[in-house]
Chains A and B, each alone.
Chain A
Amino acid sequence: MTLVQFLIVGLAILVLFRTILRFQKKKITPKLFIFWVIIWLIVITVAALPSITDPLSKILGVGRGADVAFYFAIFLIFFLLYKIMVRLEKIENEITKIVRHLSLKNFKEK
């Protein structure tokens, strides 16, 4: 294994443990827990054995297995970014509802 592989695997294991700890403390939902465990297990497997993605690269017509992992990672990042932005909009909207409610209530009480 090269140094880069070591680093990725090491980091992923660390994050995996943190995820398990957070789940034990009930900081994340079971659904999210399973999602992240799967993601990090994939990361560890692919980092340790890059050739494992070769069959996939043949099916998809992408040059190397490692490239498939990169494409997947970029797609995942964009997807999560989108999810976060939608979530943020929702929270912003909820804050507005509170502020609006208070504003209307304060006026009536004046």
Chain B
Amino acid sequence: MNLTVIIPAYNEEKHIGEVVQGVKKYTENIIVIDDGSEDKTSEIAQKNGAKVYRHFINRGLGGALGTGIKAALFCRADIIVTLDADGQHDPEEIPHLLKPIIEGKADVVIGSRFLVRQSMPLFRRLGNPFLNLITFFLFGIWSTDSQSGMRAFNKKAAQNLEIYTNGMEVSSEILKEIQTHQFKLTEVPIKSIYTAYSLSKGQGFIPGLKTLIKLFILKLTK
């Protein structure tokens, strides 16, 4: 079984090395999408043993994930796991994500930060459920953590996933695709490691608002 881990990264030279090292325990197939970084993300990822695909201009999370999935399928992946490059996710939790897929109970698994009690900055605690609700109203699918960056897909799901959006709104778009194709979705609890650094990388109020507008456009056009 070929497990491939995709890590979209934009200016992540500080953490990409340790993230790649952490994943290495579980697979040698690590794909880093350097989404037009201006720092040493590519070099460091490569030095740590990842395959690096480079976007020569920054396209955003959705653009990078789309490239990563194509690359992984080209490398004959059977299961694809996506992970954030900022050190927010613990690679140790990869086996929990794989389990429902290996057992054939799910096509897609989302690592949810809301299934276990854990401390979370107030803005995130309010913002995430709000985006869950929006995702539910627009696309008719409920997730306790629609904006999670830690997911696993089996081959069938990855092959049928059609990603249109470029930015952070891709997380909700993936749920829309799960609903459209009627994939079996399971959520597993994950920890998330909040540091000042990983918080600065996530969505604030204005980008959150932009995500909202883009989701409405997606709903109206697709």
Contacts and interface: CB of A to CB of B under 8 A. Distances in A.
Interface of A: 82, 85-86, 89, 92-93, 95-96, 99-100, 102-104, 106-107
B221 A100 contact: no
Interface stretch (B18-26, B54-62, B185-193): B54-62
Contacts of A86: 217, 220-221
B53 interface: yes
Nearest to A92: B166
A89 B214 contact: yes
Interface of B: 33, 51-57, 59, 62-63, 66-67, 70-71, 74, 164-166, 213-214, 217-218, 220-221
Given A89-B217, A107-B51, A107-B53, A96 B74 contact: no
A71 B164 CA distance: 34
Contacts, number: 53
A103 B53 contact: yes
A104 B74 contact: yes
A9 B169 CA distance: 44
Given A85-B217, A107-B51, A107-B53, A100 B67 contact: yes
27 contacts: A82-B217, A85-B217, A86-B221, A89-B165, A89-B217, A89-B221, A92-B166, A93-B164, A93-B165, A93-B166, A96-B62, A96-B63, A96-B66, A96-B166, A99-B56, A100-B55, A100-B59, A100-B66, A100-B70, A103-B56, A104-B67, A104-B70, A104-B71, A104-B74, A106-B54, A107-B52, A107-B71
A20 to B, nearest CB: 32
A100 B79 CA distance: 21
